[in-house]
Homo-oligomer: A and B are copies of this chain.
Amino acid sequence: MTNKLVHARILISCKDRPGIVAKVSSILYELGANITESAQHSTDPFKGDFFMRIAFYLPEDKAEEALIQNTFEAIIKEWEMDFHYAPAHKKKRMAIFVSKEDHCLQEILWQHQSGALDGDIAMIVSNHPDHEKTAANLSIPYYHTPISKETRSQTEAMQLELIKNKTDFIVLARYMQILTPEFIDTYKQPIINIHHSFLPAFVGAKPYERAFDRGVKIIGATAHYVTSELDAGPIIEQDVQRIDHGYTVDAMKKVGRDIERQVLARAVHWHLEDRILRYGNKTIIFR
């Protein structure tokens, strides 16, 4: 009887101290693991925090979640570790929240179809009916959940019901409604958002118009995890593109859409592959 090999990852964070790598890799060695990727980061080896991602192959009979948890239990307790075990075959399920603009939605759908995304799209949720046909063509459940100031709490409750137990994270793919702190607290799982970014920043209404008036030479986008503090959660990824004086506000928005879909797609990729560790209001990305 052959013992199939399964691929898995472990994410660890704790106070830095000598011997963590030695200990963790020894345990994996004893389990028969074959490490394929390993990255670590220390904010300060003497009094800082330590982060580690290890990807490896493991014999199937050693890869069971409870077994792994059990094996690491002692050091998790002793070193007060945040410990996350993720077998690669257990794909993460996302809900895509979207409003009218579809550039980010389309990018994620296309990446998924092309087989490049290491995860599943459980559903699309929108406050508009616009993308129903797109979803149907791909046999993805589509929930039209209209929302207004008056219905917000009611609609959010319904949305929470829809995603409960069916999703592992939410992607806000240009979802133009603000999620309430209650929604975020209740869902508990990660929520990834994308928005435009400029040098310098233009906080508030009509950012493209103001960036145009200021004559910026660069347009950017930032993907981040959502926290209750609006647009100020841990940054996952950023990118920019050059423009010049010839760009109208509309042309700038078009460039903005192109960067947004690329940046969001990268953030979703890394999240799916457990490459992101949150650290206070920052992220460690092990690419």
Neighbouring B residues of A193 by C-beta, 8 Å? none
In the complex, whether A132 has a CB less than 8 A from a CB of chain B is no
Known: A114-B103, A215-B235. Contact between A33 and B18, CB under 8 A?
Answer: yes
Chain B residue at minimal CB-CB distance from A51: B245
Q: Which single member of B36, B39, B235, B254 contacts A217 (CB below 8 Å)?
A: B235
With both beta carbons as reference points, the residue of chain B lying nearest to A257 in the complex is identified as: B114
- For this chain, the copies found in one complex come to 4
Is A120 an interface residue when CB atoms closer than 8 A count as contact?
no
Check if A38 is an interface residue, CB within 8 A of chain B: yes
**A32 and B45 contacting across the interface, CB-CB below 8 Å:** no
State whether the Cβ of A26 lies closer than 8 Å to any Cβ in chain B. Answer: yes
CA of A282 to CA of B245, assembled, Å: 8
Contact between chains at A238 and B18 (CB < 8 Å) = no
Contacts A21-B38, A110-B110, A284-B245: A216 and B199 contacting too (C-beta < 8 A)?
Answer: no
A240 near B218 with CB under 8 A, answer yes
A25 close to B (CB within 8 Å): yes
By a CB distance below 8 angstroms, the chain B residues around A254 are 116
Instruction: Known A-B contacts: A20-B35, A21-B38. Give 20 more (CB < 8 A).
Output: A18-B34, A18-B35, A22-B28, A23-B29, A25-B25, A35-B40, A37-B42, A102-B114, A110-B110, A137-B137, A197-B199, A201-B201, A213-B281, A215-B234, A215-B235, A217-B236, A218-B239, A245-B279, A245-B282, A245-B283
Residue contacts A-B, CB under 8 angstroms, 11 given? A20-B35, A22-B25, A22-B28, A38-B39, A38-B40, A39-B39, A45-B57, A137-B137, A199-B220, A199-B240, A245-B284
Give the total of A residues in contact with B, Cβ under 8 Å: 67
Verify if A80 is at the interface (C-beta below 8 Å from B).
no
- What CA separation (Å) do A137 and B56 show in the bound complex? 42
CB distance from A72 to the nearest CB of B (A): 14
| Cross-chain contact B282 with A213 (CB below 8 angstroms) | yes
A106 CB to nearest chain B CB (Å)? 5
Is the Cβ of B114 less than 8 Å from the Cβ of A110? Answer: no
The reply to whether A38 and B38 form a contact with Cβ atoms under 8 Å apart is: yes
Roughly how many angstroms separate A198 CA and B238 CA in the complex, as a whole number?
11
Residue of B with least CB distance to A32: B18
Q: How far is the CB of A127 from chain B (nearest CB, A)?
A: 20
Which residues of A from 76 to 117 have beta carbons under 8 Å from B? Answer: 102-103, 106, 110, 114, 116
Tell whether A19 is near chain B: CB-to-CB under 8 Å: yes
Cβ of A26 to closest chain B Cβ, rounded Å: 4
The 8 Å CB contact of A238, one of B32, B33, B217, B245, is: B217
A197 cross-chain contacts in B, Cβ below 8 A: 199-200
A283 CB to closest chain B CB (Å) equals 6
